[in-house]
Amino acid sequence: MKKDITTFGEIVLSKKVLAAISDMGFEEPSPIQSQTIPLVLEGHDVIGQAQTGTGKTAAFGIPTIERIIDGNRHIQALVLTPTRELAIQISEEFTKIGKYKKVKTLPIYGGQSIDRQIRALKYGVQIVIGTPGRLLDHIRRNTIKLNAVKTLILDEADEMLDMGFVDDIESILEQLSSTERQTLLFSATMPAPIAKLAEKYMTNPKKVTISRENLTVPLIDQIYYETREKLEGLCRVLDVEETGKIIIFCRTKKGVDDLVASLQARGYMSDGLHGDLSQSQRDRVMKKFRDGKLEILVATDVAARGIDIDDITHVVNYDIPQDHESYVHRIGRTGRAGKKGVAITFIEPREYRQLKLIERLAKTKLVRKQLPSSADILERQREIIKTRLLKTLENNNFADYHTIVSDLTVDYDLIDVAAAALKLSVEGFKEKEEEPISKIENTGGAPGMVRLFMNIGRSQKIRPEDIVRAFASEADIPGNIIGVINIYDRFTFVEVPEDVAERVLSVMHKNTVKGYKINVEPAKSR
C-alpha cells in the first residue's frame, strides 16, 4: 500500500512547476491531486470521479504542464470542456502552473472571433482548451493540427453528455492518434454513455474516486464582514471583541507573514505558522500560544492541521476558504468542550458569491454585521479601563499615590484629577474622527444611499423592473431596498443603500442586463 502524499515536494516535479505551485499558494495536494498526479506522471490513463471544487483542474493540469516539452510549439495537450466559462477558467489555471515553463495555452470557444483564434494558433500553442463545437469547426477548416497531441483530457464529461456533445467528442477523438496517447476523463457521475466512451477510447484506465465528506457545522456564532480594507476591519473587530486565544487563517504563507508583521506593528501579541517553518520553530510558536504568551496565531490551513487546543474562542477567516470543507474544518477549532465559539469571515465584495456557495454547501448561515465604529472601540476601551480600575481599587495597594492626588486637589476638582490620570494611563489611544472604510465618495444620492451610473437606457428598452431583477438576483439583495431609478435615453441612475453599494458595484460591473453588457460606477455628485 502506497504512503499518502502530504506535500507536492513528495511528487517528482520540476523546480519550475513546484515554484509556480508555491506562488499559487498551494501547500499540499488535495485528495484527488495526491492520487491522480503520480498516476498521470507514470503515463496511465485515468478516470477521475470528483465534484467541482475538489481541485481536479490542478490534478490534471500539474502533470500535463510537467510533461510539456519545452521549445516544442506544437499542440501537445488538448482539453475538452462543456462551456466557454470553464475553458477560460482552466486556461487561466494552466497559465499559472506553466508560468516558469512559459507554456502557451489557448482557450477556444464559440462566441469569440474565430479569426483571432486562428492568428493565435499560428503563433504556436502547446495546450488548447476548448468546447467541442468550436474545436470541430477548427478541425474542419484545417486550422488546428492535432497530430502531436500526446495528452487528451475530457473535463466535466457528464455535463458534455447532457449538452449533447458526445457525437462531437467522438468525431474529435477519431482525429487523434491512439498510439502513445494518454487520455484523462473527469466526471462527477458516470452515466452509461460516458462509461462506454471510456471503454472504447481508453487503455486500462486507473480509477480515482473522491466523494465529498459529510461535514457538520459546529454550533458556534458565524459572522461575516464585507470590506475592501480587511486589515483595518480586522483590527477594529479585535479591539471590540472579548477574545481569548484566536486563530486567523490566511490562504498563503506570504499572507501569513505579511499579516503577522502588520499585527505586531500595531501591538497585537501574534505570530505565524506555515509550511516553511522548521519543526523547532513550529514547536516554539505553539508553546507560546498554549502558554498564553500569544493571543493570536496566524496560520495556513495545512500548518493548522493537528492543532488541538480546547480554549480557542475565535476563528477568523482573513482569506475566505476555497471550499465549504475548508470552512467547516477551520471553524471547528473553536466552540469545543461545550464552550462558546465565534467564527468571523472577512470578504471583499467580489467574494460574496463564494460566501453564498459555502453557505449552501455547508448548510449553514453566516450573519452579516457592520464593522465596529471608532465610537464602539472607544466604548470598549472605557469598559476595559473601568474593569482594571475596579481591580486596582479592590487590591488597595495605591497608598503611595495619595500625596500626588492630595496636592493636585488643592487647585483641581477631584474628578478632573482622576480623569486626567486615566487619560495618562492609556496614552497612545487617541479618539479620532471615524474614517469610513468605503472609498465611495458623495454621489448625490439620498441620505444613506449611493447613486450609481449605468451605460444603458431607453435605447436598449431597459425598464425599472429589469434593473431591480438583475441587481436583486446577481448581488443577492432584496429588490425593495433599491431606491430611485432614473432611466434616460443612453444611461441610467440607480440608488442603492450604502452598505451594499460595494457589492453591487463589484458584481454588476461588466455584468449584463437583458443581454447588454454594462459598466456600473459611482455617479458624480450633482
| pLDDT tens figures, 168-180 | 999 999 888 766 7
- pLDDT (0 to 100) of residue 425: 66
How far apart (Å, rounded) are the C-alpha atoms in residues 447 and 435? Answer: 18
- pLDDT (0 to 100) of residue 79: 96
For the chain, the farthest-separated pair of C-alpha atoms sits apart, in whole angstroms, at: 102
- pLDDT (0 to 100) of residue 430: 46
- pLDDT (0 to 100) of residue 217: 64
* pLDDT at 414 exceeding the cut of 90: no
Range with top average pLDDT, 75-84, 171-180, 306-315, 383-392: 75-84
Identify the CA nearest to 126 among candidates 98, 154, 100, 153: 98
Cell numbers linked to 149: 497531441
- pLDDT (0 to 100) of residue 4: 59
Per-chain mean pLDDT for the chain: 84
Which CATH code for domain 8-209? 3.40.50.300
Fold adopted by 449-522: Alpha-Beta Plaits (3.30.70)
Confidence band for 406, pLDDT divided at 50, 70 and 90 = confident
Sheet containing 46-49: order of strands: 105-108, 127-130, 77-80, 151-154, 182-187, 46-49, 206-209
- pLDDT (0 to 100) of residue 435: 47
Cα 13–Cα 95–Cα 105 angle in degrees, nearest 5: 110
Residues 6+ apart with CB under 8 A from 437: 227, 228, 229, 232, 233, 371
- pLDDT (0 to 100) of residue 216: 57
- pLDDT (0 to 100) of residue 374: 74
How far apart (Å, rounded) are the C-alpha atoms in residues 459 and 491? Answer: 9
Domain 221-368 has CATH 3.40.50.300: yes
Confidence band for 428, pLDDT divided at 50, 70 and 90 = very low
> Do the domains 8-209 and 449-522 sit in the same CATH topology, yes or no?
no
pLDDT in tens, 207-261: 998 765 555 566 789 999 999 889 989 998 998 888 889 999 998 888 999 999 9
Confidence band for 31, pLDDT divided at 50, 70 and 90 = confident
3-state SS string for 423-458: HHHCCCCCCCCCCCCCCCCCCCCCCCEEEEEECCCH
What ranges do the domains of the chain cover? 8-209, 221-368, 378-425, 449-522
pLDDT in tens, 111-139: 788 888 999 898 889 999 999 999 999 99
Least confident of 208-222, 338-352, 365-379: 208-222
Identify the CA nearest to 75 among candidates 22, 17, 129: 129
Range with top average pLDDT, 272-281, 346-355, 418-427: 346-355
pLDDT in tens, 431-453: 444 444 455 778 888 888 999 99
Confidence band for 274, pLDDT divided at 50, 70 and 90 = confident
